[in-house]
Amino acid sequence: MIIKEQAIFSSFQTTRYQGSKRKLLPWIYQIIKDIPFNSALDGFGGTAAVSYLLKSMGKDVTFNDFLKFNSIIGTSIIENSFIRLSEEEIESILLNTDFGNNIINKTFKDSYYLEFENNWIERILVGINKFKGYNSQDTKYKKAIAFNALFQSCIIKRPFNLFHRNNLYIRTNQVERSFGNKKTWDQDFEVYFKKFIKEINNSIFDSGVICKVENNDIFNLNEKLYDLVYLDPPYVLKNSKNESSNYLNCYHFLEGLSIYESWLENIDFDTKTHRIKNSTFPNYFKASIVNDTFKEIIKKYRQSIIVISYKYGGTPTIESIVNLLQAHGKLVSTYSLPYKYALNRQNGKSQLNREYLIIGK
């Protein structure tokens, strides 16, 4: 059964993930609700906000993201329609006393969290990996819920909500602050873990349609023809280092949590932040090749209705994207909305401070 329209916008879990479209769901919904389509691909799924909207609309949704931890988030609330974590199961994870291989304190000491917090994360991580449900499918979804809650807990306790810099000192320095929320950063991990599990449990519903999750390079997805393809790719600014456009670098710590058994062998110890090796990450979104990337993605999905989330001032330009869509015979409509992202340097610049939706039918 489809949830009521208002619930589409209020029941999705909270997140501080960079660029999440959670607060934009009402706007996106109003634009796409009258487009006729049954199947949809969310090609760069992230925290699954738009996939959740599409699922809520009763669509056959395929969530895709190359990052393993994002695919786990998608599994917990898009593919999963029934399974929830009980209070007893949450406690069983919290009561785990095995600290595993102590990877986090050995590798990330004084980088992101305090020593006792690193120990908590690893203990809970091991507890999640040890969790066993009634059957393999049951276990898969329950673990995904717990992982999702752990990821969100890690994000909310980070300055800037990212892992691209070793900046624990921002939390620990005794200085007058002009931004940030030290109370949020210093709250116990367990409080957030329980909070996010409750939110995720409340987000789970059955739409009556089977939804799927892929963990793949968008160019390697199967050739299924989707009625609608939604794209929210990494955003590349002109004349910028684009440090935050590489989501593996921004969230390498969470990716490591999701591949715990092979984490150490995948760490690039030559980087200051001990990031995951980039060798397997298809970084198509860098200034030198991003125009060709858009050209190839639009070509690949030219038979579908294409919906692209974007911002002004990026590479390629909005005008270039419109031209690419029109070159494939698309009738293009562009919508925009004033919007501010937390700690975004573009805030306050009227033209840049807008969210765009480009639709090619």
Rounded distance, CA 43 to CA 65, Å? 7
Average pLDDT over residues 179-185: 79
Q: Is the pLDDT of residue 222 over 90?
A: no
43: tokens are 């090609």
**Angle ∠(75,5,15) on CA atoms, nearest 5:** 45
Q: Indicate the pLDDT class of residue 128, thresholds 50, 70 and 90.
A: very high
The per-residue pLDDT for range 11-58, each reduced to its tens digit, is: 899 999 998 999 999 999 999 999 999 999 999 999 999 999 999 999
**Helix, strand, or coil (residue 343):** coil
Determine the residue type at 103.
Answer: I
From 175, 180, 176, select the one nearest 162 (Cα to Cα): 180
Q: What is the mean pLDDT of the chain?
A: 91
From 141, 157, 151, select the one nearest 89 (Cα to Cα): 141
The per-residue pLDDT for range 129-168, each reduced to its tens digit, is: 999 877 888 999 999 999 999 999 999 999 999 999 999 9
From 78, 360, 18, 326, select the one nearest 204 (Cα to Cα): 78
Residues 6+ apart with CB under 8 A from 305: 35, 37, 227, 228, 229, 359, 360, 361
Q: Is the pLDDT of residue 6 over 60?
A: no
Residue 64: CATH number of its domain:
3.40.50.150
Percent of the chain with pLDDT over 90: 76
Percent of the chain with pLDDT over 70: 92
Domain tally for the chain?
1
DSSP 140-163: HHHHHHHHHHHHHHHHHTSGGG--
342: tokens are 């937390």
Q: What is the DSSP letter of 16?
A: -
Q: What is the pLDDT of residue 114?
A: 97
Higher pLDDT, 240 or 81: 81
**Angle ∠(215,120,113) on CA atoms, nearest 5:** 80
Expressed as residue numbers, the domain containing 309 is 5-360
Rounded distance, CA 129 to CA 99, Å? 12
Q: Is the pLDDT of residue 293 over 50?
A: yes
The per-residue pLDDT for range 94-103, each reduced to its tens digit, is: 999 998 989 9
Rounded distance, CA 200 to CA 149, Å? 8
Q: What is the pLDDT of residue 3?
A: 44
Average pLDDT over residues 72-88: 97
Q: What is the pLDDT of residue 1?
A: 38
Q: Indicate the pLDDT class of residue 284, thresholds 50, 70 and 90.
A: confident
The per-residue pLDDT for range 157-178, each reduced to its tens digit, is: 999 999 999 999 988 887 776 6
Q: What is the pLDDT of residue 352?
A: 61
Q: Where are the beta strands (DSSP E) in the chain?
A: 39-42, 60-64, 212-214, 228-231, 305-311, 332-338, 354-360
Q: Indicate the pLDDT class of residue 244, thresholds 50, 70 and 90.
A: confident
